[in-house]
Chains A and B, each alone.
Chain A
Amino acid sequence: MTEYVNQGSKDTRSGFGEALLELGRKNPEVVALCADLIGSLKMDAFAHEFPERFIQVGIAEANMISIAAGLTIGGKIPFTGTFANFSTGRVYDQIRQSVAYSNKNVKICASHAGLTLGEDGATHQNLEDIGMMKMLPNMTVINPCDFNQTRAATIAIASHTGPVYLRFGRPKWPNFTSPSQEFVIGKALMLNEGKDVSVFATGHMVWNALLACKILEEQGISAEVIDLHTIKPLDEAAVLASVVKTGCVVTAEEHMRNGGLGDSIAQLLSGKHPAPVEMVAVNDTFGESGKPEELLKKYGLDVPDIVAAALKAIARKS
């Protein structure tokens, strides 16, 4: 299989912070807002260099989202920053009415998504955000896999006109994609071509999918691994082309089954190319406190879980 080298683990949120600073230098219309989490969101550098374009709103996320929507009237490109939990569920109606329905150019940037938030526990481990955001018309939903990709995605969404939900995380995680990559919204990234099973992964789970692919290869199984960093709009052509070739699917994401990437793929395939789908995702339960790796193991999102899902999907092929 194609070899991927970890260039040194880094947190995806730092990729966001670095790109935000670069955007600030390039584009005077870029404005950033934060709800009392500057350090956690890595927005310090932007806030320091562009105080006149940085808005600290305090612990008032509803106000932040609506202010961001108002800023677009005047041509600004606002990037809001807080945890995934406070970026979605807490402000769903504000996003729905003032961002999505009104089709405003707001970039909702959410850190600490998923189980890998770790010790803070279920109150902060949002596992429903992709579902909530993808249901909104006009909304683009992006979940990059590593530091480099988060950096590239942050740059890319500034040039896209319309609402975007950008999801990233807290832990240091293997950084393996190209530092000079061009991020194309809605374009799947082929990581390893295979013929026996398609593994569609998003976010942190992409690295785990690559590790699983290696184990499968040792067992004589050729797994195709595709990074679906953009969940909406889904790269339907890439998904279908892969499944036509392999005939079965594993999806992997740090999210609930309900409403996640697997759900989008199953919906696509049921209409256009029915095939066995095994979902590696959290199954209708809240998380809990623990270390990221412990949580991924306990909730069935570890590398062996992807391997097992692949074997099961292959076995279900008729």
Chain B
Amino acid sequence: MLSIQELENIASQVRRDIIRMVNGASSGHPGGPLGSADFLVALYFKIMKPDPKQFSMNGVGEDLFFLSNGHLSAGWYSVLARYGYFNTSELATFRKLGTRLQGHPATHEGLPGIRMSSGSLGQGLSVAIGAALAKKMNHDEHLVYCLMGDGELQEGQNWEALMFAAGKKVDNLIAVVDYNGVQIDGPNDKVLPLGDLQAKFEAFDWTVLTMYGNDMTEVVDNMKKAQWYTGQGKPVMIVMRTHMGSGVDFMTDNHEWHGVFPTDEQAKAALAQLAETLGDY
């Protein structure tokens, strides 16, 4: 059993990987992955704990994760590599010609750990519902997790999916909104206000939890709580408050770091704030 400190150490290394990958590719999205790094580390290393050596597309007999906001790929790839799905040296190929680590996650190149392409927003929750329904049909009691962005909720398909999951009692599903309050053009409230998300999800008849996603203890505790709420006739939603760019002071809460890569100098300044705990790739 990994301790909170050990999980935090992994998250620090994942944040270093994100900075180095995006800098190395001279393109990509650093802000979102930094903000959701703690969640993804907790999910893989503490909550789901899948067997990376037994990866199969069908995923029967294990928990599944879908990343709806595919532009968080750098963080997901780092977590997958650090967890053992593939060698961390492959992180250096991120976004480069011939890579399995496409700009947005893809099944096309056969990267272990990925079961669905994403990047065009608003589709991941529906996909996760489909996978959850298949689990029910297969009498497989494992859970399905989905991470979505907040700005992504402006896509109408999410609300089709929200209505469906509650109406059809898809209660083996835990969805998490990375609520950092900013999107590519600026704050959600300026682009298109999301309103009271918690009230909206409750009105759609989901079980709704809230948590602060940049505190490892809180993330682990609330994910366990969410697991407890599954199997009770309702899908579970976690509204997860995070800081975009978390871990690097000059990127934190700044929407300009949504999709801009750090220069070598900026990367150096960012890495100085993040402990190298597991060794850089």
| Residues of A participating in the B interface, judged by any CB pair closer than 8 Å | 31, 52-53, 55, 57-58, 60, 62-63, 65-76, 78, 93-94, 96-98, 101-103
Are A70 and B130 touching (Cβ within 8 A)?
yes
Asked whether B116 is an interface residue with its Cβ less than 8 Å from the other chain, the reply is yes
Q: Given A60-B160, A70-B116, A94-B123, A101 and B64 touching (CB < 8 A)?
A: no
- Docked complex: B99-134 residues within 8 A CB-CB of A: 106-108, 115-120, 122-123, 126-134
Q: Mark B234-248, 1 if CB is under 8 A from A, else 0.
A: 000000000000000
Are A63 and B131 touching (Cβ within 8 A)?
no
Nearest B residue to A69 via CB reads B127
Nearest B residue to A78 via CB reads B130
Are B59 and A73 touching (Cβ within 8 A)?
yes
Are A60 and B128 touching (Cβ within 8 A)?
no
Residue numbers in B under 8 Å from A65 (CB-CB): 126
Report how many A-B pairs have Cβ atoms within 8 Å. Answer: 112
Residue numbers in A under 8 Å from B47 (CB-CB): none
Residue numbers in B under 8 Å from A72 (CB-CB): 130, 134
Nearest B residue to A55 via CB reads B133
Once bound together, how far apart are the Cα atoms of A74 and B117, in whole Å? Answer: 16
Residue numbers in A under 8 Å from B107 (CB-CB): 101-103
Once bound together, how far apart are the Cα atoms of A65 and B137, in whole Å? Answer: 18
Are A62 and B134 touching (Cβ within 8 A)?
no
- Docked complex: B160-210 residues within 8 A CB-CB of A: 160-161, 163-164, 167-168
Asked whether B58 is an interface residue with its Cβ less than 8 Å from the other chain, the reply is yes
Please name 5 further chain A to chain B contacts, defined as beta carbons within 8 Å, in addition to the given A63-B164, A66-B130, A71-B130, sorted by A numbering.
A31-B137, A58-B163, A58-B164, A70-B132, A76-B137
- Min C-beta distance of A168 to chain B, whole Å: 24
Once bound together, how far apart are the Cα atoms of A98 and B119, in whole Å? Answer: 10
Once bound together, how far apart are the Cα atoms of A30 and B190, in whole Å? Answer: 46
- Docked complex: B212-268 residues within 8 A CB-CB of A: none
Are A75 and B127 touching (Cβ within 8 A)?
no
Residue numbers in A under 8 Å from B131 (CB-CB): 70-71, 73-74
Residue numbers in B under 8 Å from A69 (CB-CB): 116, 127, 130
Residue numbers in A under 8 Å from B117 (CB-CB): 97-98, 101-102
Q: Given A62-B126, A74-B138, A97 and B133 touching (CB < 8 A)?
A: no
Query: Count of chain B residues with Cβ under 8 Å from any Cβ of A?
Result: 38
- Min C-beta distance of B58 to chain A, whole Å: 5
Once bound together, how far apart are the Cα atoms of A75 and B139, in whole Å? Answer: 13
Residue numbers in A under 8 Å from B127 (CB-CB): 66-67, 69-70, 98
- Which residue from A52, A66, A75, A76 sits with its C-beta under 8 Å from B126? A66
The 4 closest A-B pairs by CB, nearest first: A70-B130, A74-B134, A66-B126, A60-B160
Asked whether B275 is an interface residue with its Cβ less than 8 Å from the other chain, the reply is no
- Min C-beta distance of A78 to chain B, whole Å: 8
Asked whether B153 is an interface residue with its Cβ less than 8 Å from the other chain, the reply is no
Are A67 and B118 touching (Cβ within 8 A)?
no
Are B134 and A73 touching (Cβ within 8 A)?
yes
Are B160 and A63 touching (Cβ within 8 A)?
yes
Chosen A-B contacts, 20 in total, with CB atoms closer than 8 Å, are A53-B137, A55-B168, A58-B163, A60-B163, A62-B157, A63-B129, A66-B123, A67-B130, A70-B116, A70-B126, A70-B130, A70-B133, A73-B59, A73-B134, A74-B59, A74-B134, A75-B58, A75-B134, A93-B123, A94-B157
B107, B119, B135: most-surrounded residue (chain A CB, <10 A):
B107
- Which residue from A57, A98, A101, A102 sits with its C-beta under 8 Å from B164? A57
Nearest A residue to B66 via CB reads A70
Nearest B residue to A100 via CB reads B117
Residue numbers in A under 8 Å from B163 (CB-CB): 58, 60
